[in-house]
Structure 1
Amino acid sequence: MRGARGVSGAGAGSGGGAGTRTGFGVPGCAHPLLAPGVWHALTRPATPLHWVVLDVAGGPGVQPDPHCLDAAGRLRNAGVRVLGRLDAAHGLRPRIELVADAHRYLEWYRVDGFVLDRCPADRAGLPETRRTITSLRALHADAHLVLGHGTHPHPGYADSADQLVTFSGPWSRYRFSQVPEWTADHPPERFCHFVHGVPHGHLDEALRIARWQGAATIWLTDRTDRGGHADPFEDLPGYWDDIVSRVGTGVSE
């Protein structure tokens, strides 16, 4: 296990490799009617966004939502990639259901790819996950695919998608986290870290950990899950302007 990835000549905001820029992957926001300011903030020029997840109602919903269509359209017009959330339920959802959800996302919201949330992480789940990815690429050959494990999976998953979410959890765990050796075989743009409960005073430390561990796509927030009763990722962090400035200019020291 490794606690840090050696970086030679990489800038503080470079995500751990020369030429790689750290940016935000937004795991999902509250509905545009409930959080219009959040969606507006994500379209501001120079915001370092890699992608934003569109989760209409635990997936694409049962019919097109004009508010979500408008929000997704404004993001795409701003040059931001929009990904539809597909809930794999840790491998319990049939592939046919996931593909049906993906089809609705494409037809209704013209998404640029998908996050396979709650994706299996063990070796046993790898074959079916690969079949699901093959089906998704058949729907959209250029789809950007992210596997939302939330932990480091079997290394075989790294060959199956564009990015892996290898950490999703609280700051109390992240600050002492380590990464397995196999991650060094892949560039930082392959990995995403989502961390909640990060105090403003520890923001620089959290950014350094992401850089050292080789994750170029991040989401850091001071919001918490309130003991498991809230989604800490559905709102912008309280220090949004500050973290945008730090990540956008490559400052994390």
Structure 2
Amino acid sequence: MTGTTPDGRLLVPLYVHPAVDPAAWRAVAAADPSRIAAVVLNLADGPGDTPDHVFTEAAEELRAAGLPLVGYTDTDYGRRPHAAVVADILTYRQRHGITGVYLDQVACHPGALAHYRRLATAARAAGCGTVVFGHGKHPDPGYAEVGLADLLVTFEGTWQAYREMTLPLWTARHAPSRFCHLVYDVPADHASDVTALIAARRAGVGCAVPGSGENPWSTLPHGLTAAELT
């Protein structure tokens, strides 16, 4: 499979409804579970206000295929109330049986560490074995301390921006499995270049997609198309 990091772990932000692109969901369901770190479910920047049976059935197919599912919820850089974020997690657990949570728009400054420590603790108490912090850039080193997130998304942006990124020295004190880089607007002929650079930057989890614009994550990662899996 191309477009993944050398240890084969791929984080899949599956931000397209199964009724809109059922082929994408089928392709993910057909993936080797050992190659997938997690599939991120995201119905409406969260679980949505009401159950969606089409989404629920498609998510169940992924779960039945042995893929780890994490639920997306927006923390608005620490501004969203603790109770609202936890309510999202509980809703995902009830509707989709998620085993983890993807907290997005996570603050990077040390002043918010206590807030995110409480959220991580609440997520684990709710049954989430995996907690992902979606910073989108490198945060204060304190966010890598034990007891917060299992996985830090320390880059999310275009291929051009990724080539120009500078890696902070503090990341070398932690295992590559703690870091994830999400790269979009990646031409097919550069998929292998992204893979090599993710590995060189010691991120044990990665994803490269061709999509761009407002929602690049509506496209499948390079190497995870239905044609390549058949």
SS in 2 for 1:62: coil
- C-alpha change, 1:65 and 1:188, in structure 2 (3 Å) is same
**Which protein shows a greater Rg?**
1
Letter in 1 for 2:117: R
- Given that 1:200 and 1:239 are in contact with CA atoms closer than 8 Å, whether structure 2 keeps it comes out as no
Q: State the AA in 2 paired with 1:170.
A: T
* Residue type at the aligned position of 2:160: S
Question: Does residue 1:41 correspond to 2:24, yes or no?
Answer: no
The residue correspondences of 1:82-97 to structure 2 (distance < 5 A) are 82-97=69-84
Question: In structure 2, what is the equivalent of residue 170 of structure 1?
Answer: 158
Is residue 183 from structure 1 mapped to residue 171 from structure 2 by the alignment?
yes
With normalisation by structure 1, the TM-score equals 0.82
Matches within 5 A, 1:84-233: 84-140=71-127, 142-159=128-145, 160-225=148-213, 230-233=214-217
Q: Tell me the CA shift for residue 143 of structure 1.
A: 2.1
| Matching residue's letter, 2:131 | L
Q: What amino acid is the match of 2:124?
A: R
CA drift of 1:239 comes to: 5.7
**Counterpart residue number, 2:61:** 74
* Letter of the structure 1 residue corresponding to residue 15 of structure 2: C
CA contact under 8 A between 1:27 and 1:53: conserved in structure 2?
yes
Q: Tell me if structure 1 keeps the 8 A contact 2:210–2:221.
A: yes
RMSD (Å), alpha carbons: 2.0
Q: State the one-letter code of the partner of 2:20.
A: L
**Distance in 1 between residues matched to 2:40 and 2:106, nearest whole Å:** 15
1:201 Cα deviation from its structure 2 partner = 2.0
SS at match of 2:98: coil
Contact kept, 8 Å, 1:29 with 1:38, in 2: the verdict is no
Count of residues in correspondence between the two structures: 223
Name the counterpart of 1:236: 220
How far apart, CA to CA, are the structure 1 residues paired with 2:161 and 2:203?
A: 16
Give 3-state SS (helix, strand or coil) of 1:156's partner.
helix
Measured after TM superposition, the shift of residue 113 of structure 1 is 0.8
Deviation at 1:83, TM superposition (A): 0.5
Of 174-183 and 160-169, deviating more is: 174-183
Show CA shifts across 1:112-147 (max 9, x none).
Answer: 11000101111111111111111111111x521100
Question: Cα distance, 1:193 vs. partner?
Answer: 0.7
Structure 2 gaps of 5+ residues are: none
Runs (4+) off by over 6 Å: none
Aligned amino acid, residue 151 of structure 2: Q
Deviations 1:83-136 (A, max 9, x none): 111100111100011011111111111111100010111111111111111111
Q: What is the alpha-carbon distance in structure 2 between the residues aligned to residue 22 and residue 178 of structure 1?
A: 24
Q: Unpaired runs of 5+ in structure 1?
A: 1-12, 16-20, 246-253
Please tell me whether residue 53 in structure 1 is matched to residue 40 in structure 2.
yes
